[in-house]
Amino acid sequence: MYSIAEKRAKEKFTEFLRGGSYRITPERFEVLAAVLRTDDHFDAETLYLMLRGSGSKVSRATVYKTLALLHECGLVVRHMFSPGEFAQYEKTIDRPMHDHMVCTRCNRIIEFDNRSVVYLQKQLAHLHDFESSYHTLQIFGVCGDCRRTRHSAKNGTKNGTSLKVTSVD
């Protein structure tokens, strides 16, 4: 049984594929289903290994190509949280718009939302006669835990953890 959000995502992806004359294959929808089951940031290789671990026959190339298509149609957003690292993805369905702070020592990702950021985006778009479809804001620095404890990613503490913070201004 599919949720309403899953049905919307499948319909949107189907329309996108048809509109772009892409092939509609069960493998692409298998990748979409795996993305919709994932609530955290993920990279293509991790998604591929997860699919293979569950018995899927989807190829690595199909995962990478499908993620690119899902990004193009707006069902996933792609982030580069650190130079030289793999792109990270997250689904957009059933997730509120949010931004990220990334600790450059432990790679912790702190998600936050703030009405002021959204307001500023709308103001700037209006000022420049620009129709925005989405935005991304990434703030890089050192988290409070790393500043207090002097731990770094090298000793394996808090490496890659994610924290969700909701603030409303």
At 39-98, the pLDDT tens digits run 888 999 999 999 999 999 999 999 999 999 999 998 998 887 776 678 889 988 877 778
Asked if 88 and 136 sit in the same domain, the reply is no
Q: How confident is the model at residue 154 (pLDDT cuts 50, 70, 90)?
A: very low
Q: For the chain, how long is the longest CA-to-CA vector?
A: 54
Domain boundary among 38, 68, 95: 95
Asked if 159 and 119 sit in the same domain, the reply is yes
pTM: 0.71
With beta carbons less than 8 A apart as the criterion, state whether 102 and 138 touch: yes
Task: Give which of 127, 112, 125, 126 is closest to 163, Cα–Cα.
Answer: 112
Domain boundary among 41, 75, 95: 95
- Give the residue numbers spanning the domain of 129: 96-169
- Tens of pLDDT, residue by residue over 130-151, are 988 777 788 889 999 998 887 4
Domain boundary among 95, 112, 132: 95
Per-residue tokens: 97: 């718009």
Asked if 6 and 87 sit in the same domain, the reply is yes
Q: Quote the number of domains for the chain.
A: 2
* Sign for the pseudo-dihedral over CA of 143, 149, 154, 160: negative
Q: What is the mean pLDDT of the chain?
A: 84
Asked whether residue 167 carries a pLDDT value surpassing 60, the answer given is no
At residue 159, the pLDDT reads 46
CATH number for the domain harbouring residue 163: 3.30.1490.190
